[in-house]
Structure 1
Amino acid sequence: MEHLTHKRKITIMIAIIAAMFFAAINQTIVSTAMPRIIAILGGMDYYTWVITIYMLTSTIATVLVGKLSDIYGRKPFILSGIVFFMIGAFLTGTSTDIFQMITYRGIQGIGAGIIMASAFTAVGDLFAPRERGKWTGIMMAVFGFSSILGPTLGGFIVDHMNWKWVFWIFLPLGVLAFVLILLLFPKAEKKQSESIDYFGSLFLTLAIVPLLLGFSWAGTKYDWGSSQIISLFAAAFVALVIFAIVETKVKSPVLPLSLFRNSIVTISNLSGFLMNAGMMGALIYLPFFVQGVEGISPTYSGYVTMPMSISMVVISAFTGKWITKTGKYKRFALFGILIMVAGMIMMAYMNSIWFAVLSMIVFGFGLGLGMPVFSLTVQNAVSPNMLGVATASSQLFRNMGGTIGIAVMGTIMSSSLASNLKADIADGKGVDMSKLDPKTAEQMSALQNPQLLLDHAKLDQIKADLPDQIQPMFVKMIDMLKDALSHSLTTVFLSGGALLVVALLLVFFLREIPLRTSNRMPEAAGNAAKPAAEA
């Protein structure tokens, strides 16, 4: 599609960005609204499924659509993605119970996965690799902007409007994006020689689902060594082995294993995996410090993470322009990850809200430099007929990194917290229960749960119900919990920093080949991508 006029390309990109923003804002807007919605619908025990089902369906849709869009073109898929997402969003707003919401969020996830896979690949169709840099940066900035606007808007809607508008308010934007893409996006012809890899798709799905469920539930719903988690991982392994066998036999594999013989693709995907895994430490556990250790309310804690999104938005846009101007990308990945490591170390030793804000700004700066690079490197290293599947592989590794990172960080957090509490009690920082009467000892024992630090209303109620003579013990116990939580978060952030250091080391081995000024593969670049193009 390089033959299109610049004006038409820009118009198509506006439509693509509108579709991406529609998907991204609908994901971030629910973060602050969901607790209130679940309180209205009921079914708190199934709350995690609202998040898990979206993650599962979007990840599967992303990787399956990659190959299909290489065969049939991007247009039918990005249109179908918008339709799926709009239907899912509308139906979610009509939910009358938690089970309906889970089902409809699954439909939304399918749409989101299709939109994301098709949108990033469409950039590769429209622009040569040298030009993609600025557009990749802009698209990353869209995610950052949605993470700034979404939570604030979601909180406002559930406070002042019917919660259904959380899912309905951006439906007109989806309609606009659909119409623009329908009218302007060129139709690609099906490659008649290509066939659909049904068995590969099936076993890839059967590998992804239990793997993600295993990591989502391990350490929370079930123990890591439980029969449920072991069975899920075993099922994923068996399906993965069968998938690998199938991919070596079929004519047109859904995810060609030969793609990973290309060192640029492999290193880029592994780096993206580790970056997302480490990044989740900042996004998921910083509120534990802000709300638990510093005692800031949930409403205001969002303002602490907002600077990260703002700095990422600004730097992502500039990074894309710099890559397009210089044709170089490795330096941005190196500096970006290095700055992210510095931000993570700052989080490990933060001791105030202002220090937390500063660490978020630094981390967002590094994220804006490094994150746009790896989709670009993957697309630049493969032939145009592999663009969809290569882009899908990049997003698959990022999604997996985020999911696995949350699980691993959660386990580190739990084990570290238990160890720190035990050490603090042994050092006399807690309350000696043996010297208390049974009723008071029972009240003090209930305070040993660090989760109380995140529920300020309940904590205030417990304090108000205690006799005056017990108040000093209450303060001592809460101080011990905050100390244990603070030290545990230090361990979590340092662990996230360690993952980013591994990603940094990998990037040193990333082979930098010139960004092409055309979608046609020159001989040198073609040789670099040859292993990936051979099925």
Structure 2
Amino acid sequence: MEHLSLKRKITIMIAIMAAMFFAAINQTIGSTAMPRIIAILDGMNLYTWTINIYLLTSTIATVLVGKLSDIYGRKPFLLAGILFFMVGAFLTGTSSDVYQFITYRGIQGIGAGIIMATSFTAIGDLFPPRERGKWTGLMTAVFGFSSVIGPTLGGYMIDNMDWHWVFWIFLPLGVVAFFMIIFLFPKVDRKKSESIDYLGSIFLTTSLVPLLLAFSWAGSEYKWVSPQILGLLAASIISAIIFIFVEKHAKSPVLPLSLFKNRIVTVSNIIGFLMNFGMMGALIYLSFFVQGVLEISPTYAGYVTMPMSIFMMITAAITGQKISKSGKYKRFAMLGVPIMIAGMAIMVFMTNVTMAVISMIIFGIGLGLGMPVFSLATQNAVSHKEIGVATASSQLFRNLGGTIGIAVMGSVMATSLKSNITDKMQSAAAHGVDMTKMDPNIAKQLAAFANPQTLMNKPLITETMAKLPADIQPLFTKMLDMIRDALSSTLSTVFLTGTLVLFLALALVFFLKEIPLRTSNSVPAAAADGEQAKAEGTDVGTKQVFASDSMN
């Protein structure tokens, strides 16, 4: 696609960013509204599934579409992704129970995975690595913008409108994005020499699904050493072994193992895994602090997280421009990851809204500096014919990091919260607040609020307070204060865990090899000697020499 005029490329990028924004805004708008929606559907015991199913299906879709889009081009998959997402969003809004909600969120996840993977890969089709930085930064800024308005809008809507509109309000934007892709995005002929690795796709799926389920259920549905979790992990390992054997003999593997011989790809993917492990695992639980501990409504909770998105958006756009101008990227990761660590470290000690906002600003700046680097480094380190599968591998490791991070942090939270609540209740009993001496029905009613998700449901708290006898109401207030105090201490442990994981990511950044960003997608086959290959952007350590493989 390098033969296209700059005007045509910009027009195509507008269409891609419209599709990206449609997926991103539908994801972020539900973040602050989700706890209330699941409470309305009476499915708080399945709350984590509403998040995990989305991550599960989007992860599978992302990695499978990577290779297929290298064969068939990006356009059909962008269109399919938008359709899946629109259907999923519409059906989610029609849910009458939590099981339907989870199923339809899974369909949304398929669409989101396809859109995210093909959107960033399409940048690689349109622009050489040296120019991708500014466009990757702008795409990150689009996601940042959706993160600015999404949570606040979602909080306002759940407080003032029927919850169904959270999923329906942006459907017209999906229609616009769909037709923009149809008319503006050029079609690329299928590479006839490429075959589809069906067997590899099956075993890759059967490797990932049990793994993601194991980490989604461990610590919440089942114990970490339970037969169910150990069985899922065993199934994942067996499938992974078969997958490796299949890929070694596949003519056109869905996830080439040779990709991971490239040191830049491997290090970038591991860093992406660790960053998302720490980031997603901790940020998912920030809403518990804002709404559960500080008692802030969903509408205003969005304002607390908004600074992170604003500063990420601005910093990512500037970082992308700087990377394109200098051709260097490692320095931004070296600066960004420590700033992320500083922002998360503040979360460990935060006790009020001001500290929460400051932590969000600092964390957002770090994200903006670091986020565009690793996918760009990965794309630059492989030949253009592998750009789709390389980008998909980056998305795969990030999604795995997020899923496993949420699970591990959830276990840390559950263990720590149980201990902290026990300590608080023992302290309360010593001061005359002993639930064992209450009416059993009332005690059972109050005990439900030891669950942090129930603690976030302010309408339920108000309703419960109104139904309690007058002499019990002061005890209920004291109990809520104690649980909030226990939750605050617990979340400090969660955020500390995220901080430590980010330190591991920082250590690996030092091992990220930096090679000059190429100025063309087509690399001459004659560039075989080490110095010329290095100048063209080849990782000499992997002894790869890119052959000319223009997408024209």
TM-score (norm 1): 0.91
Change beyond 3 A, Cα 1:423–1:160: closer
Change beyond 3 A, Cα 1:456–1:115: closer
Per-residue CA shift, 1:140-187, capped at 9, x if unaligned? 111111122223333444555554443333233222222222223222
| Counterpart AA for 1:439 | M
CA distance in 2, matches of 1:107, 1:436: 44
- Contact residue 381 and residue 529 of structure 1 kept, 8 A: no
Residues 1:519 and 2:531 aligned together: no
Shift of 1:93: 3.8
CA distance in 1, matches of 2:435, 2:507: 54
| Counterpart AA for 2:294 | E
Residues 1:269 and 2:269 aligned together: yes
| Counterpart AA for 1:137 | G
CA distance in 2, matches of 1:203, 1:224: 24
Partner of 1:258: 258
1:279-428 matched pairs, under 5 angstroms: 279-424=279-424, 428=427
Change beyond 3 A, Cα 1:456–1:38: closer
State how many pairs are aligned.
Answer: 533
| Counterpart AA for 2:485 | D
Shift of 1:295: 2.6
Shift of 1:300: 1.9
Per-residue CA shift, 1:398-435, capped at 9, x if unaligned? 00111100011111112122233444566x46546798
Shift of 1:75: 1.6
- Contact residue 54 and residue 108 of structure 1 kept, 8 A: yes
Shift of 1:476: 5.2
Partner of 1:63: 63
| Counterpart AA for 1:449 | A
Per-residue CA shift, 1:410-469, capped at 9, x if unaligned? 11112122233444566x465467988832698568458253643444445666666777
Per-residue CA shift, 1:460-494, capped at 9, x if unaligned? 56666667776776565444433332222221111
Residues 1:178 and 2:178 aligned together: yes
Change beyond 3 A, Cα 1:527–1:220: closer
Per-residue CA shift, 1:314-343, capped at 9, x if unaligned? 111111111111111111111111001001
Partner of 2:489: 487
CA distance in 2, matches of 1:152, 1:229: 37
Shift of 1:259: 0.7
Residues 1:130 and 2:130 aligned together: yes
- Contact residue 345 and residue 497 of structure 1 kept, 8 A: yes
CA distance in 1, matches of 2:348, 2:302: 19
1:223-242 matched pairs, under 5 angstroms: 223-242=223-242
CA distance in 1, matches of 2:114, 2:278: 25
Per-residue CA shift, 1:367-412, capped at 9, x if unaligned? 1111111110000000001100000000000001111000111111
Aligned partner of residue 331 in structure 1, secondary structure: helix
Question: Which sits farther off after the overlay, 404-413 or 155-164?
Answer: 155-164
| Counterpart AA for 2:511 | F
Aligned partner of residue 372 in structure 1, secondary structure: helix
- Contact residue 433 and residue 441 of structure 1 kept, 8 A: no
- Contact residue 258 and residue 532 of structure 1 kept, 8 A: no
Residues 1:449 and 2:442 aligned together: no
**Uncovered stretches (5+) of structure 1, i.e. residues with no partner:** none
- Contact residue 340 and residue 367 of structure 2 kept, 8 A: yes
CA distance in 1, matches of 2:64, 2:267: 22
| Root-mean-square deviation (Å) | 2.7
Shift of 1:527: 4.9
Change beyond 3 A, Cα 1:75–1:224: same
Partner of 1:438: 437
Shift of 1:191: 1.9
> Percent identity at matched positions?
64
**Uncovered stretches (5+) of structure 2, i.e. residues with no partner:** 528-532, 547-552
1:184-199 matched pairs, under 5 angstroms: 184-199=184-199
Change beyond 3 A, Cα 1:434–1:318: closer
Change beyond 3 A, Cα 1:351–1:397: same
Shift of 1:269: 0.5
- Contact residue 382 and residue 533 of structure 1 kept, 8 A: no
